[in-house]
Structure 1
């Protein structure tokens, strides 16, 4: 009897769909691999053994022998899993990964008696790949932000600060490190969920820069941009009619 366990993806725990075997001989579904491996980098790691490989050969190659075997012996499960992946990919097409950069700068003030630490906490947003920026008409991600809220230690007054214009940062003096929850809220018309993160202050060297990959709904942004462009075109047409 053929065991299905030998043909199960360790990432999604479903039957292999478009199986790809890495140099370490671990096999995964192609959609699962593409979700975890970023080909913008020269190297990538196996999700199982964490061995690192050079990205010299371009996209992963599907193992057609394993694919044919699964289609023959696990036909119903394979077709069901295919449908699940198709539905999932349609939803993911609406999403876009962005890079949230955050951290703090730091200076030590020798002449101060108590609050010797001068720090600034900041947040910026970047595209991960150029294609997304082109799709969204070159809009700056920072322009999507309505406000960034920094929640400070209770010893500060006020103990939270809302910044509504770039640069999204705050500067304070203090005597010790602590964690600062940060909430990024987007402009209402884009219908995007807030991004929440937390930064622990670092009082060493010049501070620290961190990065978090987050997902936002690119489809909502595109709809709003198209609406804005249509309004501009209508305004231009109305001016032409008025002149006539």
Structure 2
């Protein structure tokens, strides 16, 4: 694996990008690292390499955003995420995950279009009044897609951006949610054999790059103005949506 120039060329920037996304820009595009790795290794191996790296980034970014999250929103997403992970375990070998990729991709793109062309006063007054069921349903979808492809970021981004949170509250909430969801995922990953000696070795080798990305992400979050922050987030959400639909189609 480590003697393959293509793996090295893809893995290092992919892991740094994932760290930047999770550390400063809401995790919406961090999932892209897994399909990049899956171009050169087995998909299960890509999942096994990335989860410990994502958990490492979760752990080191909790402190910079400590207690700045929206606990009511985080609680709904985490509570919904647990059955979503369970669903992923049950349906691991038979579920048509591409259906969920297309659904999430369409929602992500539709949400950005809504933000750009249709929200204004309507969204400002209505989005904050989402019923709890929306947060729970988003958590279920995110937990499932996170389990099967580490792609839980886009649905959470859609929900939280629609809640009208400040940039730091939004970011801190995503950090807390995925810290919890990834901890839940780790146990079944180990049980079904996704973690191997080879994936652990790759994780250790790539860990410094994940930490570098997380550090860049936290610094960028503090420096980037709120308007630009959400503009960048919407760009990442568009990229995430397009990639999910493309993955499903191909």
Q: Same fold (TM over 0.5)?
A: no
Please identify the structure whose Cα radius of gyration is greater. Answer: 1
Which structure is richer in relative contact order (CA contacts within 8 A, separation 6 or more)? Answer: 2
TM-score, normalising length: structure 2: 0.26
Higher strand content, 1 or 2:
1
TM-score, normalising length: structure 1: 0.27
